[in-house]
C-alpha cells in the first residue's frame, strides 16, 4: 500500500507544488480544494488518476473539515502525513498609529490558526494508524517572536505566532503517540497568498515544496527542533 498524505490549500501555489512533489514520490495524495474554479488539480488528476483524491475543503468550516476527514478514513483508513498549508494574508499593513481592521485579524486567526487546529484534530486518529506519523504545518518567519522585525502586519504575524504555540502544545501531547509535529518557514515563495501571484518573491513554489518534502521524508526524531525552514535550517521561536 502506498503511503498517504493530506495537503490543505492544494489548489495553487505552494500547496499545489507540494501535491506534485508527493505524487512524484509515489504517495497517494488527498488534496484539499477550496477554489472550485481553479483547474490545476483537475489537470493533475488526469495524469495521476487514483493516486490523487481531490477533497472539497474549507478549513474555517467544521462540517467541511469533518467531511474531508471522513472521506480519508473511508478511502484509506489511515494517514501517514498531514501538511496544513491553507492560509490567507490580507495586506492592509495595520498601523498602531493609524487604522487596524479587527475583522481582518479575526479572519487570519480563523484560517491560519484555527484552521490547522480543526484539520489536525480531525485526522489525528488516522495519523496514529499511519507509519510516518508526521504532522507538518506551513508557518512563517513572520511568526517568530525572537526574530520579529516588522512594524505592521499584525494580523498575519500574530496568526502565525499563535500557530507556533499551538504546535508546541500539540507536540508536548502527541510525542507519547509517536507523532512528530513540524513547523516550516517555506521561504519567500512566488505564490498567491496575497490574492494575486507575487512575482517579486525569491523562491519558486516547486523549490520550496521539494525542500519541505525532503525534510519530511527524513522522518526527523520527535526530539529534534520543530521550527525549521525549507532547507532544514533551525528557526528561532
Could you read off the pLDDT of 60-113 as tens digits, one per residue? 999 999 999 999 999 999 999 999 999 999 876 678 888 888 999 999 999 999
Residue 219 has pLDDT above 70, yes or no: yes
Measured at the CA of 154, the angle between CA 148 and CA 156, to 5 degrees, comes to 85
What CATH number corresponds to the domain at position 89?
Answer: 3.40.50.720
126 within a domain of the structure (yes/no): yes
153 within a domain of the structure (yes/no): yes
237 within a domain of the structure (yes/no): no
Residue 47 has pLDDT above 90, yes or no: yes
Q: How many CB atoms lie within 10 A of CB 141?
A: 18
| Per-residue confidence (pLDDT) for residue 196, from 0 to 100 | 67
| Per-residue confidence (pLDDT) for residue 98, from 0 to 100 | 86
204 within a domain of the structure (yes/no): yes
The whole domain housing 212 covers 4-229
166 within a domain of the structure (yes/no): yes
**Residue 168 grid cell:** 508546541
Average pLDDT of the chain is: 94
| Residues 134, 55: Cα–Cα separation, whole Å | 20
194 confidence band (pLDDT: 50, 70, 90) = low
Query: What is the model's pTM?
Result: 0.96
Residue 181 has pLDDT above 90, yes or no: yes
Amino acid at each position: 500500500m502506498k503511503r498517504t498524505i493530506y495537503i490543505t490549500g492544494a489548489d495553487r501555489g505552494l500547496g499545489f507544488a507540494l501535491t506534485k512533489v508527493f505524487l512524484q514520490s509515489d504517495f497517494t495524495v488527498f488534496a484539499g480544494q477550496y477554489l472550485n474554479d481553479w483547474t490545476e488539480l483537475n489537470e493533475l488528476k488526469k495524469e495521476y488518476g487514483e493516486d490523487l483524491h481531490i477533497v472539497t475543503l474549507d478549513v474555517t468550516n467544521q462540517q467541511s473539515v469533518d467531511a474531508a476527514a471522513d472521506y480519508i478514513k473511508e478511502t484509506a483508513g489511515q494517514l501517514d502525513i498531514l501538511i496544513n498549508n491553507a492560509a490567507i494574508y490580507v495586506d492592509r499593513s495595520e498601523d498602531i498609529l493609524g487604522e487596524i481592521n479587527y475583522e481582518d485579524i479575526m479572519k487570519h486567526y480563523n484560517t491560519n490558526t484555527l484552521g490547522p487546529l480543526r484539520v489536525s484534530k480531525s485526522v489525528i486518529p488516522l495519523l496514529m494508524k499511519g507509519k510516518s506519523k508526521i504532522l507538518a504545518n506551513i508557518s512563517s518567519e513572520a511568526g517568530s517572536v525572537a526574530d520579529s522585525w516588522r512594524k505592521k502586519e499584525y494580523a498575519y504575524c500574530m496568526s502565525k505566532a499563535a500557530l507556533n504555540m499551538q504546535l508546541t502544545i500539540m507536540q508536548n501531547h502527541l510525542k507519547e503517540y509517536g507523532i512528530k509535529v513540524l513547523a516550516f518557514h517555506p521561504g519567500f515563495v512566488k505564490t498567491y497568498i496575497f490574492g494575486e501571484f507575487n512575482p517579486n518573491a525569491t523562491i519558486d513554489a516547486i523549490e520550496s515544496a521539494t525542500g519541505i518534502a525532503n525534510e519530511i521524508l527524513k522522518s526527523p526524531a520527535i526530539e529534534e527542533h520543530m521550527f525549521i525552514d525549507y532547507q532544514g535550517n533551525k528557526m528561532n521561536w
